[in-house]
Amino acid sequence: MPKVACPDCDRNIAVHELEARTVAQTSGFNTNYRCPFCRADFEDIGDNLV
Ligand SMILES: [Zn+2]
């Protein structure tokens, strides 16, 4: 089961527990993720996979 480390609270979050939000930007669509523990938003989970 892949997990990511939250850059804000350093907890490990299972990918399916992340809240994914797709937002429209000028350059296209971007997917943001939200930590269920501290509610921090982060954009790229690729660098935080553990
Ligand atoms: Zn967090």
pLDDT at 25: 87
Neighbour count for residue 3 (Cβ, 10 Å): 16
Compute the distance from residue 18 Cα to the ligand 1 centre, in Å: 10
3-5 and 12-14 beta bridge pairing: antiparallel
pLDDT at 31: 87
Name the β-bridge partners of 18. none
pLDDT digits (tens, 9 = 90+) for 1-50: 889 999 899 999 998 999 988 989 899 998 889 999 999 998 877 777 87
pLDDT at 26: 92
Q: Which residues are CB-neighbours of 29 under 8 A, at least 6 positions away?
A: 22, 23
SS3 25: strand
Compute the distance from residue 42 Cα to the ligand 1 centre, in Å: 9
pLDDT at 44: 77
Domain spans of the chain, in order of start = 3-48
Compute the distance from residue 36 Cα to the ligand 1 centre, in Å: 7
Compute the distance from residue 49 Cα to the ligand 1 centre, in Å: 14
pLDDT at 50: 77
Compute the distance from residue 22 Cα to the ligand 1 centre, in Å: 19
